[in-house]
Amino acid sequence: MATPALHPSARIERGSSSHLDAVMTVMDSAFGNRFGEAWTRSQLSGILPMAGVILTLAWDGADAIGFALSRTVADEAELLLIAVRPDRHRQGVGRQLLDQFFDDAQARPVARVHLEVRDGNPAMGMYHSAGFAPVGRRQNYYRGTDGQSFDAITLARTL
């Protein structure tokens, strides 16, 4: 199945610490506090200046609709966060951010990419279709606000 096209006015751009408000707005709408997956503003501002860290944003006009945060160390890259506003799900935004992550990794060059996702996350289908496969599991890694725990699934893909 083909990846849906982005809305014609959407664009993918490199971000910086000046975009923290936009990132936090997307993160709050995409993650909320239900599963403990979101990062704080302090965590984001602390990692952005580090070597090998890339922030990518998806924009529709002046509105941020998604973002991806990754880091590269040696010949491996990790997708630390990816989020899309819920009203823009299933429109190809997440896949385009994921494809940009692959492009950035290959430009470094990177041999393998990783990510970690909550078991049951609906984005798992996108990750599998992009070539990721499970390589590990962290039991009870995420905790929901209701006290329920969720495993974290580690996925990897060779480039």
Average pLDDT over residues 43-63: 95
Three-state secondary structure of the chain: CCCCCCCCCEEEEECCHHHHHHHHHHHHHHCCCCCCCCCCHHHHHHHCCCCCEEEEEEEECCEEEEEEEEEEECCEEEEEEEEECHHHCCCCHHHHHHHHHHHHHHHCCCCEEEEEEECCCCCHHHHHHCCCEEEEEEEEEEECCCCCEEEEEEEEEEC
Instruction: Write down the pLDDT at residue 13.
Output: 96
Q: Which among 78, 116, 141, 142 is annotated as catalytic?
A: 116
Q: What is the pTM of this model?
A: 0.90
Instruction: Write down the pLDDT at residue 8.
Output: 54
* pLDDT tops 50 at residue 3: no
Q: Which among 78, 127, 141, 142 is annotated as catalytic?
A: 127
37 is catalytic: no
- pLDDT one-digit tens code per residue, 99-130: 999 999 999 889 999 999 999 888 999 999 99
Instruction: Write down the pLDDT at residue 2.
Output: 45
* pLDDT tops 50 at residue 26: yes
Instruction: Write down the pLDDT at residue 79.
Output: 97
Q: Given pLDDT bands bounded at 50, 70 and 90, which one contains residue 131?
A: very high
141 is catalytic: no
Average confidence score pLDDT of the chain: 90
